[in-house]
Homo-oligomer: A and B are copies of this chain.
Amino acid sequence: MDIFTTMQDERGRLSQSEIRIADIVLNDFEFAVNASIIELAGKADVSPPTVTRFCRRLGCESFSDFKVQLARTAYVGMRYLKPEPKSIAPADVAQDIITKAQNALFLLHRGLDVDAIERAANRLAGAEMIYAFGSGGNSSMIANELQNRLFRLGLRITASSDHSMQLMMAAAAKPTDVLIGSSFSGRNAELVRAFMLAREAKVPTIALTQSGSPVANAAEITLPVDLPEGDNIYRPTSTRIAYLAVVDILASLIAYRIQPQATVTLRRIKQQLVTHRDGDDRQLLGD
């Protein structure tokens, strides 16, 4: 898949010299992409042929192929190997945030359970009514987002961030409905209770949360999002972007499943928004 992961996975099967090479690449990425095979060999105290063999073992054609692979994934993948130095100058803060966001997406993609997403999409596409639950700023945004995306496809959906309402709705839901809930921490006890209630009534449940968490265990289908949260308390956002991406994937899959219907509804909504604005037909749906 990507060369960094491969290096970590293969580490156990490498020889001493090769481990030295791997460590240098991992620790001083900047050096590695720019170095020639001779320089890299020199730094690792091995001979150039060993480096070639190392590259081959990792599944690359040649040393230069290895460098290209490295450079390719690295743009996104490298920073999570290092902590954050950086200053608080605006440009650095911006770069840091954007890199972290890209990283979150990268990691999300790597850990994505495509199968579970597909099952969830099928369930949602066939639901008579959808309840989207989430609380506390982050997850309530996700619930709203689900509503925002799915109602456009002609699905019946309501979002709620209110625990009491969630419980009542869960109790009122029917087996032909679907309950989908989000929890970043996976420890939202009220959401767990809502899931339990729904399951008793045979209502399908989908959780968007950390795998292995209470919320994950309470739901029938879990869409896991497992990211290392940075320790900077001011910035919980990169995780949220990953969640949004999952919602996006989900909504797209559902859209493809119910396409004919969705296109019609979508056009109707669009029509309405556009005429209400200024007639420019190239506008987005919703502002």
Query: Which residues of A come within 8 Å of B, CB atoms?
Result: 33-34, 36, 64-65, 67-69, 71-76, 88, 90-91, 93-95, 97-98, 101-102, 105-106, 108-109, 112, 114-115, 117-118, 121, 134-139, 141, 144-145, 148, 183-185, 187-189, 229, 233-237, 239-241, 244-245, 247-249, 251-253, 255-256, 262-263, 266, 270, 273, 277-278, 280, 283-287
Contacts and interface: CB of A to CB of B under 8 A. Distances in A.
Contacts of A88: 253, 256
A274 to B, nearest CB: 10
Given A75-B76, A94-B249, A236-B285, A34 B65 contact: yes
Given A136-B273, A240-B244, A252-B93, A233 B74 contact: no
A102 B76 contact: yes
A94 B76 contact: no
A194 to B, nearest CB: 13
Nearest to A236: B284
B287 A138 contact: yes
Contact of A64 (B64, B112, B270): B64
A183 B235 CA distance: 23
B245 A101 contact: yes
A252 B148 CA distance: 27
Nearest to A33: B68
Given A98-B105, A236-B284, A249-B93, A277 B184 contact: no
Given A136-B273, A136-B286, A237-B244, 14 more contacts: A76-B102, A88-B256, A90-B115, A93-B253, A98-B109, A101-B248, A102-B105, A134-B287, A141-B144, A184-B286, A185-B287, A187-B287, A237-B251, A239-B284
A91 to B, nearest CB: 5
A260 to B, nearest CB: 13
A256 B112 CA distance: 34
A141 B148 contact: yes
Nearest to A68: B71
A234 B262 CA distance: 9
Contact of A101 (B105, B148, B240, B270): B105
Contacts of A97: 245, 248-249, 252
Contacts of A112: 94
Contact of A93 (B93, B256, B262, B283): B256
Given A101-B241, A102-B106, A137 B286 contact: yes
A166 to B, nearest CB: 13
Given A93-B252, A98-B108, A262-B234, A68 B65 contact: no
- Most chain B beta-carbon contacts within 10 A, residue among A106, A248, A249, A251: A248
Contacts of A239: 284
